[in-house]
Amino acid sequence: MFGQVTQTPYDIEFSLLGIPVRIHPFFWLISLLFGWGLGQADLIVIWMLCVFVSILIHEMGHALLTRALGYQPHIVLHQFGGYASFMPDSRFSLWKSIAVSFAGPLAGFVFFGVIIAIEIVLAMTGTRVSPQLGFALGSLEWINLWWGLVNLLPVLPLDGGQICRDFIRMFRRGDGERWALRIGVFVGAAIAVFAFQLGDRYIAIMFGILGFFNFRDLQERYGGF
């Protein structure tokens, strides 16, 4: 998604369900920065764990479907989120690519449903929920629902952008990438302006950067818009 992330001596590596996972140290740093405003050490740690679990589940969605299709994926979590990488071959059709791209957000939506179910059970049984547990459940809900929806917007290299690109390629194989980048420029700019008006500087900056990356790639790959 954002290119291969260079390995460092401080990476954490393990295997989950037979799929190799590597965590770059900047993943923890960015998660810490996003949670720093909470002001309490326990809530900051809980937030970082919620981000870790949510993004790992998202990437496992990609990776598990990729493996089911006969490929050998590995996962990297980094400062921009993460990616599930593998080597496609001639058997990897556009429909399979779309399915793999959607599998990540879908895994997050399923996990969101699990969290809702847990909260319903806790409420029905009258179980007392500590402030820390309540914060964790709320954070998991928010991350898996809203980050999943944002990730489906048609802006490369988000999953929605990749789905948009592959869908266009079914009808315009020669310039599907170019049209996806054009859409990414407009959507990225529109979301950035809208978020700025709402006062959400993070979303505004993120989509402003993504829109610029799409514009830059248009210039470098195709010499113009």
Which domain-ending residue is among 152, 176, 204? 152
Residues 111 and 73 in one domain: yes
Domain of 169? 154-225
Residues 145 and 41 in one domain: yes
C-alpha pair distances (Å), 40 with each of 59, 115, 158: 29, 23, 32
Mean pLDDT, residues 75-97 taken together: 93
- Residue 50: what pLDDT? 97
Residues 82 and 158 in one domain: no
- Cα distance between residue 47 and residue 111, in whole Å: 16
Residues 111 and 215 in one domain: no
Q: Tokens for 20?
A: 């190799």
169-190 tens-digit pLDDT: 999 888 899 999 999 999 999 9
Name the percent of the chain lying above pLDDT 70. 98
- Cα distance between residue 49 and residue 47, in whole Å: 5
Report whether 24 contacts 52 (CB < 8 A): no
Which domain-ending residue is among 103, 121, 152? 152
pTM for this predicted structure: 0.92
Taking every pair of Cα atoms in the chain, the longest distance, rounded to a whole number of angstroms, is: 63
In 10 A of CB 78, how many CB atoms? 22
The total domain count for the chain is: 2
Residues 56 and 20 in one domain: yes
Residues 87 and 145 in one domain: yes
Residues 148 and 158 in one domain: no
Residues 184 and 105 in one domain: no
Helix (H, G, I), strand (E, B) or coil at 67: helix
- Cα distance between residue 37 and residue 40, in whole Å: 8
19-68 tens-digit pLDDT: 999 999 999 999 999 899 999 999 999 999 999 999 999 999 999 999 99
Which domain-ending residue is among 152, 173, 189? 152
